[in-house]
Amino acid sequence: MYLFTNAFRNVLRNRGRNTLIGAILLAVIVASVIALMISDAASGIIDDYKGRFGAEVRLQPDMEKIRKEAMANSANGRVMMTVPSIPAEQYMAFGESEYLLNSVYSARTGVNSDSIAAVDAELGAGSGMMMAGPAMTDNPPMQFMLSLLGNRFSEFEEGTRELAEGTMPAGLNEIIVSTDLAEANDIRIGDKLSLYGELTNMKEGTRADTSYELTVVGTYYDATDEYAEGARQNAFTNRRNELLATYETVVQQIQPDMNGIRIEATYYLKEPGMLDAFAAEVYAKGLAETFDVTTDEASYNKIVGPVEGLKGIAVTFMIVVLLFGGIILVLLSTIAIRERKYEIGVLRAMGLKKTKVAIGLWSEVLMIACVCLAIGLGAGSLAAQPITDALLAGQIEAAEASESAQVQAGGMMMMRPAVTPAASDAEPLSRLDITLGLDTTLQIVGIALLLASLAGLISISRITKYEPIKILMERN
């Protein structure tokens, strides 16, 4: 008990020197608290988004491969680039893979109606198709005023669309229409709409008619932009003319070897590491080499990139602080112990063993460390969030500047393809909420005690190797 009582008195007696040691240790603890809190929060987000975007797979055309293929097949110096499509049967076959946890399909086709006046009908119809083939240029395909979409409800989750009345389509041949289209045509819930369209085989120049008899089960408010940026403006491209249905409703009119119903699929892997195996399987099942099997890397980089940069800064900063803080603590502790050689010699001469002297000196360092821990954990917790916000804002600005530079560089390319993989519309994380958890607290306590013990034991080891008579003789 005497050792600890004497250690406590020594801490109070040598306030100046111990305050300096405590200040250095406190700075190290506060920096470590902030760095570990940021690192732990960032790691959790990175793991979450890596699993989310790494498991989501899409089949996208590679425009560079398409361009090379078109140039290789060009005749008379004319290059005809066409965006390839994947037949619905292939999409279904790909979805049967053992590597998949789930498959989500969506479909889109153009339709017309003799009883519905489309919004912006005065701008004319459209098709969104490239005309090619022996019979298409002389006898162009049908132009459409309306769009029939299957399983395209993401805007309702994002908040830009909202159900006005009725219910969402759940069964076959059920649709909902925008309030703008409904009001312009006095469409009510329960009305039957007759729609017709057309499928084509562009290579052979053949066509087939399609028809739908659909029931209106609801209307929706639409706050999306009427036209996509850069899109040609006509009734077909106006988003107020989109009729929303289930995937099964749209694809019931699919015919073999005929185009006109565009299908898209998003596959979800059981594990992100299965991407290469799934890609090999779909290529073996007939997927054209002009398609890439990719994850949503753009969204991942846009969201996680700044967080990864933030984590890197935090870890690097903590390592530097621990390194230099440890060195300074060792030097200060060594100087402090050297100044107390006479005190140590007296204690040894009174009969105290080396071990007990070392425990007493070590206890002083641990007492200082405990006080610094109590203050440092609180101060670090309070300072962590504003520091994180400032650092994350800087990382987001750097990422956006890099993305903007890439876009400008891409815009300078000549003959840029008309169809490219869509840029990510994912919003980067604007705030990283961090808290001081039990694991982080234990890590901080371990670091503080280890650092203090290391600094104290290194300096103590240099003194306790001397005999008491030698210390007292040097004093005289």
Between 208 and 1, the more confident residue is 208
Using CA atoms, how far apart are residues 293 and 277, in angstroms rounded to an integer? 11
Position 439 pLDDT exceeds 80: yes
Position 337 pLDDT exceeds 80: no
Rg of the chain over Cα atoms, rounded to whole angstroms, equals 35
Task: Determine what percent of the chain is predicted with pLDDT higher than 90.
Answer: 21
Average pLDDT over residues 150-176: 92
In this structure, the strands spanning 242-245 and 146-150 are parallel
- Per-chain mean pLDDT for the chain: 78
Q: In this structure, what DSSP letter does residue 114 have?
A: S
Amino acid 367: pLDDT: 84
Between 403 and 155, the more confident residue is 155
Average pLDDT over residues 240-266: 88
Per-residue pLDDT band for 416 (boundaries 50, 70, 90) equals very low
Between 299 and 446, the more confident residue is 446
Q: In this structure, what DSSP letter does residue 427 have?
A: P
CA dihedral 91, 95, 100, 105 (to 10 degrees): 70
Average pLDDT over residues 114-128: 87
Average pLDDT over residues 354-374: 80
Amino acid 131: pLDDT: 45
At residue 372, φ and ψ (nearest 5 deg) are -65, -35
Average pLDDT over residues 77-101: 77
Amino acid 136: pLDDT: 45
Cβ-Cβ contacts under 8 Å for 338 (sequence gap 6 or more) = 462, 463
Q: Which amino acid is at 264?
A: E
Cα separation of the two ends of the chain: 31
Amino acid 161: pLDDT: 93
Position 407 pLDDT exceeds 60: no
Check if the beta carbon of residue 120 is closer than 8 Å to that of residue 239.
Answer: no
Per-residue pLDDT band for 185 (boundaries 50, 70, 90) equals very high
